[in-house]
Structure 1
Amino acid sequence: MQNGKKQTNLYLLLVLVMASWGLNVTATKILVSHFPPITMTSFRIFTAAIAVFLFLLFIGKFRLPTRREFLYIFAGSLFNIFLHHYFLASGLTMTTGTNGGLILGIGPILTAILAVIFLREAISIPQLIGLVSGLFGVSLIVLTGGQGLSGASLGDIYVFIAILSQCFSFIIIKRISGSLDPRLMTAYMLLIGSILLFFTSLIEEPSGLAQMSDHSPSMWLLFLTSALLATAFGNLIYNFAVGQIGPSKTAIFMNLNPFFSLIGAALFLNEQIRFMQILGFILIIIGVVLGSGALPELIRARKRIRNP
């Protein structure tokens, strides 16, 4: 009973994480239009890293990693932080917040595929149908973004690379979660990833540090909200859930990302939601429910309720 309550609480936290991540697409879209994207992202993630380290010190979970654990941490930093945030920040300067959010919705499908390949998880026929549906939904969004088949932008491709990198990192986190607390791994990944992004920004945005000043208090408030709620809290809870219930089950909740992203883009960016985007979103949701195995799990749960 106690375990069931803990799992329910974890699920509720995951819903809040998805809300923060979905709305963070809009926040990031706004931030990259005011700050140099890579420089801003490195500072935002560094701020999140400090917050997570302080939290771990408070709960007594901080320790230095072993050499083997550090290799996993560095790999996780490369995919979960550096590549994911580099391509996300860069991509959102070249595509809409709506498209970015919807493309991020392919996360559960990609996670399911990678879990089959690297964790040897079995895949059923419904899951296979879901994978096809989800991939078709994302293709529809990317290739028909208002201009027919010529509408695919480099920004859309960058956002896809961003989510692919993040999903691959979930496999890495799951592999090491038995010996290394995912929350501690998150802190180190954020720190190392922010450093990698900062040195990259020095090359790609030589005047980035100078451009970080002279912004309104509202922009800095948005910066801190994004860093603390979406990046620190979001990554902390999500990576912990990956270690507890596995990447595929945790990824089920990522289907909420596009929903919150669409709401954020419509409310704060005044972006119009077109029919093809709605259709792509529906296909992604179908893909998530089938591809991540949520539907069979729901059916089994209903049977257990009816036949206790």
Structure 2
Amino acid sequence: MKTRTPSGAAPAPAPAGTASPVSPSHNLRAQLVLTAAMALWGLNIPAVRVLAGRFDFTTLAAVRMFFTCCVFAVLALRAGGRLPRMARRHWPLLLACSMLMVYGNQVFFTSGMARTSATNSALIVALGPLVSSLLAAIAFRERLALPRLAGIALGLAGVAGVILHRPGAGVGAAGIGDLLVGASVLSFALGGVLVQRLARQLDVLSISLSIYLVGTALLMLHAALAGFDQRILSSGWQSWSLILFSGVLASAIGNLIWNRSIGILGISRTALFLNWVPLFAIAFAVAFLGEPFSWWLLFGFGCVVCGTWLGALRRT
């Protein structure tokens, strides 16, 4: 399903790999909405940590993604009266995105988290913007301008400063867990590159629904083969409220915004905002879970604000 202009004509396609041309005000609006989505993802981290201590990770991921698909399906029905139909030529990229951004990312990350420290995981995830920018440079021949590299370095420094100065933080020796977390970062970044290609031909809702339907089916199959955790079906309202928050708000709404932002800003600029996720997660832990406050948190926010501004600026 192609997007349409108000007159009904399909817009002329932009060069492959480029983001949609938008006005400065639209660009700023997209960045503000994307920051709100990163806040949802940051709050999702402690929610998933709580749930992961109660249920099998594959079953948990499959149930969360099921609710994500339900939201996408309802939105698609409200928008067009029916579920979107995909042309055969789009399915190879959509299947690859499903494997990378949903199934692979979920399995690699949750498996890796069980084998490495939280500090190592957070630092590896903070490399996401750099990995995405490098992939965009390779795939789309985007120039890695000095301000963007400076923004990536500044954001990474801010995140690292906050994480390494938290009580009990310590960097352990690299192992299989670190490789798995790194694989999850690479998997998500590769999927983002493919989404940027698809965003020139399909609307964001169609992309998101298709990706998550296939990814959820793969997770469900994995959970069935591994042994579905029946405890999740009889859990209390506290667990289900966290599951619904994670599946509906964080995953569905957050990923719709993420995929839309890729179409507007491009993957390398959009990925810069990933630095906000660990900072929001720590800030929510301080505010709601009683974790100790550190001035390094303000230092990190300052670095990420400046780094995002440097890296996300459009230059002619």
TM-score, with length taken from structure 2: 0.78
The 1:225/1:103 distance shift into structure 2, 3 A limit, reads same
Contact 1:42 1:198 in 2 (8 A): yes
CA shift for structure 1 position 200? 1.8
Alignment of 1:143-162 (within 5 A): 150-152=172-174, 154-162=176-184
Structure 2 CA distance for aligned equivalents of residues 127 and 17 of structure 1: 22
Q: Structure 1: how far apart are the matches of 2:299 and 2:238? A: 34
- Please say if residues 106 and 138 of structure 1, whose CA atoms lie closer than 8 Å, have aligned partners that are also in contact: no
SS in 2 for 1:293: helix
Q: Does 189-198 or 89-98 show the bigger shift?
A: 89-98
**Separation in structure 1 between the aligned mates of residue 197 and residue 94 of structure 2, nearest angstrom:** 11
State whether structure 2 residue 238 is matched by structure 1 residue 218. Answer: yes
| Residues 44 and 223, structure 1, Cα contact 8 Å, conserved in 2 | yes
Match of 2:98 among 77, 102, 111: 77
- Counterpart pick for 2:88 among 56, 67, 77: 67
Show structure 2 runs of 5+ residues with no match: 1-21
Preserved contact between residue 61 and residue 106 of structure 2 (Cα < 8 Å): yes
Cα distance in 1 for partners of 2:64, 2:108 equals 15
Distance apart, 1:122 and its partner CA: 0.7
For 2:169 and 2:214, how far apart are their aligned partners in 1? 39
**What is the number of equivalent residue pairs in this alignment?**
292
Deviations 1:210-236 (A, max 9, x none): 232332211110000010001000111
Cross-structure match for 1:115 = 136
1:37 — aligned with what? 57
1:16 aligns with 2:36: yes
CA contact (8 A) 2:156 2:275 kept: no
Q: TM-score, normalised by structure 1?
A: 0.79
Cα 1:174–1:50 change in 2 (3 A) is same
1:270–1:83: structure 2 CA closer, same or farther, 3 Å change rule?
farther
**1:86–1:145 CA distance, 2 compared to 1 (3 A):** farther
Native 8 Å contact 2:199 2:263 kept in 1 = yes
Offset of residue 156 of structure 1? 4.2
Which deviations, in whole Å up to 9, do the C-alpha atoms of 1:65-114 show, x marking residues without a partner?
11111111101101111111112233334456665455433222211111
Q: What's the CA shift string for 1:158-213, capped at 9, x where partnerless? A: 3332222111111101112121112211111111101111222233x32x332323
Conserved 8 A contact 2:37-2:257: yes
**Residue 230 in 1 paired to residue 257 in 2?**
no
Q: 1:67 to 1:170 in 2, by over 3 A?
A: same
Q: How far did 1:244 drift?
A: 2.1
What is the identity percentage for the equivalent residue pairs of Structure 1 and Structure 2? 30
Tell me: CA distance 1:282–1:260, structure 2 relative to 1, closer, same or farther (3 Å): closer
**In 1, Cα distance between equivalents of 2:182 and 2:293:** 20
Do residues 180 (structure 1) and 198 (structure 2) align? no
In structure 1, list runs of 5 or more residues that go unmatched. Answer: 302-308
- Asked if structure 2 preserves the Cα contact closer than 8 Å seen for 1:170 and 1:247, the reply is yes
**Equivalences for residues 1-308 of structure 1 within 5 A:** 3-60=23-80, 62-95=83-116, 100-128=121-149, 150-152=172-174, 154-203=176-225, 205-206=226-227, 208-267=228-287, 285=304, 288-289=307-308, 293-294=311-312, 297=313
Q: Secondary structure at the match of 1:71?
A: helix
